[in-house]
């Protein structure tokens, strides 16, 4: 996942991945371009529920811990 990439590369993003990908925080919210968004698999209900709580939600939003 994008979260794994951030952790593996030691990229510091304040709070990113605080729930370790358990769909409990929405801090890993990312906004993709159309091409990137279309390349990903479907959103599961649990991700959608947590996305609703994300700051600045857009039509291109996903949770970084759920996208590969
Ligand atoms: Fe918490 Fe993605 S890391 S929902």
Determine the atom of ligand 1 nearest the C-alpha atom of 50: 4
Residues 6+ apart with CB under 8 A from 5: 11
Q: Would you say the CB of residue 65 lies under 6 angstroms from ligand 1?
A: yes
Q: How confident is the model at residue 17 (pLDDT cuts 50, 70, 90)?
A: confident
Q: Which residue in this structure is represented by tokens 């599961």?
A: 44
Quote the CA–CA distance of 4 and 9 in Å, as a whole number: 8
Judged against a pLDDT cut of 90, whether residue 68 lies above it is answered with: no
Length of the chain: 68
Q: Which of 57, 56, 63 is nearest to 19 (CA)?
A: 63
pTM: 0.88
Nearest CA to ligand 1 atom 4: 23
17 C-alpha to ligand 1 centroid (Å): 5
Q: Would you say the CB of residue 26 lies under 6 angstroms from ligand 1?
A: yes
- Please provide residue 3's backbone torsions phi and psi, each rounded to the nearest 5 degrees: -60, -45
Q: pLDDT tens, 29-67?
A: 999 999 999 999 999 999 999 999 999 999 999 999 999
């Amino acid at each position: 996942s994008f979260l794994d990439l951030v952790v593996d590369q030691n990229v510091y993003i304040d709070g990113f991945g605080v729930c370790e990908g358990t769909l409990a925080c929405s801090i890993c919210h990312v906004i993709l371009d159309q091409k990137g968004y279309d390349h990903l698999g479907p959103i599961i209900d649990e991700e959608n529920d947590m996305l609703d709580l994300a700051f600045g939600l857009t039509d291109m939003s996903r949770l970084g811990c759920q996208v590969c």
